[in-house]
A and B are shown apart, each in its own frame.
Chain A
Amino acid sequence: MTAPNPIAVTGAPLLRVEHLTMRFGGLVAVNDVSFTALNREITAIIGPNGAGKTTLFNCLTGFYSPTVGRLTLRHPDGREFLLERMPGYVISQKAAVARTFQNIRLFSGMSILENLLVAQHNKLQRASAWSIAGLLGLPGYRRAEKEAIDLASYWLDRVKLLEYADWQAGNLPYGAQRRLEIARAMCTEPVLLCLDEPAAGLNPRESAELSELLRFIRDEHKIGVLLIEHDMSVVMTISDHVVVLDYGRKIADGTPEVVKNDPAVIRAYLGEEEDEELPEIVARDLGVDGSEGHRTGEGT
């Protein structure tokens, strides 16, 4: 779909996941997964339910500390962070990794604008001198707050929610909440944006708008995007690179075209079936239907 990004190809990868393993007692949720994600690229992680995608995200963003493995994040300016050693909030604060959640987690009692200001907490907290300058109402803090509101307005405009800025976040319709969560993550000014099923529950038009937004984030803000998604129409059109997980293992890795035709992926999504027309069916399934869990073999 998109031509390989020359800058990304030449530079070191933004994120390097090496031998990541996450065990919960006897259950191995993620098993020796290694892949890289490049800057200015959208890397999609797909796989059937229970493949370990969200666990991988939770390891990346510090909610779990992985059993084995190394997660290296390399900023464009050359600084490197070992994410597996950092507690959750530091990953966002210092390593600049932002995420959204599969089940939307907004501050639903607060206004939309406030949601975006909370996302800029650390910047504002420094500007308010840990509340002291803020309590005194010093001009430095007022300026910082105005800048924060400007940034929030920019992203609200981008996700078409500007005129609802003073609404309570919980009152927004579902699709708008999804967009707001992405805007909130972007307000932390990340180098890597991790989106956990951003298209879940969206109608086709909203999905198309989401694809547009993600392309915009990649191209204009020049950051890496990591995407868990079941909606194959989104994955196949916007991803530069797809990683496929099944039962916690990586079974394929490559461009959407390569992955689409990979026999292991076809097996994971459709089950074993000897049929010469299989690739076409798979292409249709991966491209249009996007549902998963056809492990027992699809008849049509």
Chain B
Amino acid sequence: MTALPLSRSRGIQWSAVLREAGLTAFVAFLLTVPLVGLRTVDRPTGLTIDARFDEVLVAVFLVFIGRLGLGLIREGQALLVLVLALLATGVGIVAPLPTQVLEVILVGGGLVIAIRATVTLVTNRSTLSQAERDKRMDVVAAKVQHASRWLAPIGIGFALIFPFLPFADRHLIDIGILLLTYIMLGWGLNIVVGLAGLLDLGYVAFYAVGAYSYALLATIFGWSFWVCLPLAGLFAALSGVLLGFPVLRLRGDYFAIVTLGFGEIIRIVLLNWYEFTGGPNGIIGIPRPTFFGIADFTRTPTDGMPAFHELFGLPFSSLQRIIFLYYVILVLALIVNVFTLRVRKLPLGRAWEALREDDIASASLGINRTNAKLAAFAIAAMFGGFAGSFFATRQGFISPESFTFIESAIILAIVVLGGMGSQLGVVIATFLVIGLPEVFRELEQYRMLAFGAGMVLIMLWRPRGLLAHRDPTVTLGGARKAPSGPGSAAAGGVS
């Protein structure tokens, strides 16, 4: 389209900037005519279509101005653009506009461009090449990764005292449980996707196997949660091995498609095996967990177990069970985390990463690829199973509805967004993907819009995820400092 200016010494290339802005406006026009310009209205005479061309016009104009602003920033006119963008924001706030959407566009767009211009003014960022930008981002990611040494204990400490903080009500603790469930699932899937490099699109299948294992064992045999939890993990791991054997010889896209299919098979079996799983009705009345088989959380336990509040001399509160559940999932999630952090430094974890990097070379070094991948699959499935049985006991009701593909996609999005293989990244991504929509419940209809926009932004800025920085699992003391980014090795003068 238009060539990027190589230096700032030349004058503003008005024609190029205008052409680019015009082209963008044209694309905006094509998009807004059907999306904004036509509106179906339900009238007594039937469904009719209203045209809203003035809105289209304003939208296209705004896009034109916005793109022009970005172009001018690139041409080194950031100060001018900053002033104009702030002016536009002011106008957007003060002046009456035909629709609220346009006001949002004017204010929001003006602010975004103003921020962009400020960033350019402060850091000169737009003059950097893409490689330099990546390098800077990587340095930031490395800093965050290193900061996790003290960030992690603070986070865990906060998570431990969180239910007893004054502002933690039932709603917030519920969100906390939800977040921790997804963090656990993210950490579990990270073993397969982040470490072993196998794109698993059907992780929710193992979550479902764990949930149904617990629900069925508990409702049919009446076994307690603490007996069923390891069994659920075992069943999920077995289903992982069962799927793994035929599938692991496939690679890349083919592997992803088969795991996707497996996820759907599990869901459809659960949906149709009416006699066993209850089909679409699901399983109701799943027993709640007891306090390690010692005490029950109900006010008056029926089966001779002492009540929790009486045992500990507390007043009865339904919050006690919620807080207990919170700690159960916190401990489960931390087990997954500790396991992953430790296994990375073991031969098994290194073999996974080696398989991700180059599986032919791994085989030439004597690594049994099938066994290593199966181990990754089974272990991740086991953790998924644990999370599943926790989910079943927390909800008290499960049905195939909870284990659709979108769940797999969300867990995968958490892993990829966070930066493959990064434990802290998974936490941050969970807060973004699960936490934000929970907090902004009123804006729920825009959730998918924001989700998509977020994904596009990540693809543009951090294609390898937010915290895609890998630290070596073992270092040789006294060696030369490792370079911070690609390309710097050439200056190292090796050999």
- A-side residues, CB < 8 A to B, are 61-63, 88-90, 92-93, 98-99, 101, 105-111, 113-114, 117-122, 124-125, 128, 130-131, 134-135, 137, 145, 149, 153, 160-168, 170-173, 175-176, 179, 184-185, 188, 206, 209
Chain A minimum-CB-distance residue to B370? A89
Contacts of A168 in B (CB 8 A): 482-483, 486
A121 pairs with B347, CB closer than 8 A:
yes
B14 within 8 A of A: no
A114 pairs with B472, CB closer than 8 A:
yes
B472 pairs with A107, CB closer than 8 A:
no
Partner of A163, one of B350, B353, B479: B479
B483 pairs with A167, CB closer than 8 A:
yes
Contacts of A131 in B (CB 8 A): 343, 346-348
B358 within 8 A of A: yes
A124 pairs with B490, CB closer than 8 A:
no
Measured CB to CB, the closest approach of chain A to B197, in angstroms, equals 10
A164 pairs with B360, CB closer than 8 A:
no
**12 A-B residue pairings within 8 Å (CB atoms):** A92-B366, A98-B365, A111-B475, A117-B350, A117-B474, A118-B347, A135-B346, A149-B476, A162-B476, A166-B472, A166-B475, A172-B494
> Nearest 8 A-B pairs (CB), nearest first?
A92-B366, A171-B489, A111-B472, A93-B366, A107-B357, A105-B361, A124-B347, A165-B476
A89 pairs with B489, CB closer than 8 A:
no
| Bound CA–CA A98/B363 (angstroms) | 10
Contacts of A149 in B (CB 8 A): 474, 476
| Bound CA–CA A135/B335 (angstroms) | 12
Chain B minimum-CB-distance residue to A162? B479
Contact with A along B316-355 (1 / 0, CB 8 A): 0000000000000000000000010011011110110110
Measured CB to CB, the closest approach of chain A to B380, in angstroms, equals 14
Partner of A135, one of B342, B357, B480, B488: B342
B347 pairs with A134, CB closer than 8 A:
yes
B495 pairs with A176, CB closer than 8 A:
yes
Known pairs A171-B489, A173-B490, A184-B365; A118 contacts B351 (CB<8 A): yes
Known pairs A107-B354, A109-B357, A164-B494; A171 contacts B486 (CB<8 A): yes
| Bound CA–CA A284/B319 (angstroms) | 89
- B-side residues, CB < 8 A to A, are 339, 342-343, 345-348, 350-351, 353-354, 356-358, 360-369, 470, 472-476, 479-483, 486-490, 492, 494-495
Measured CB to CB, the closest approach of chain A to B432, in angstroms, equals 25
B347 pairs with A173, CB closer than 8 A:
no
A173 pairs with B339, CB closer than 8 A:
no
Chain A minimum-CB-distance residue to B342? A135
B479 pairs with A164, CB closer than 8 A:
yes
Contacts of A114 in B (CB 8 A): 350, 353, 472-474
**Number of interchain pairs (Cβ within 8 Å):** 166
Contacts of A172 in B (CB 8 A): 489, 494
| Bound CA–CA A160/B494 (angstroms) | 9
B351 pairs with A121, CB closer than 8 A:
yes
20 additional A-B residue pairs with CB within 8 Å, beyond A107-B362, A125-B351, A164-B480:
A92-B364, A93-B368, A98-B365, A101-B360, A109-B353, A109-B357, A110-B472, A117-B350, A118-B350, A120-B347, A121-B350, A130-B348, A135-B339, A135-B342, A137-B342, A163-B480, A166-B472, A170-B486, A171-B483, A173-B495
A118 pairs with B354, CB closer than 8 A:
yes
Contacts of B354 in A (CB 8 A): 107, 110, 118, 121
Known pairs A107-B354, A170-B486; A89 contacts B476 (CB<8 A): no
| Bound CA–CA A119/B482 (angstroms) | 21
B482 pairs with A122, CB closer than 8 A:
no
Known pairs A110-B472, A173-B490; A128 contacts B357 (CB<8 A): no
A164 pairs with B342, CB closer than 8 A:
no
Measured CB to CB, the closest approach of chain A to B289, in angstroms, equals 26
| Bound CA–CA A145/B350 (angstroms) | 13
Contacts of B351 in A (CB 8 A): 118, 121, 125
Known pairs A99-B364, A164-B480, A165-B479; A175 contacts B346 (CB<8 A): no
Most buried by B among A63, A149, A160, A163: A163
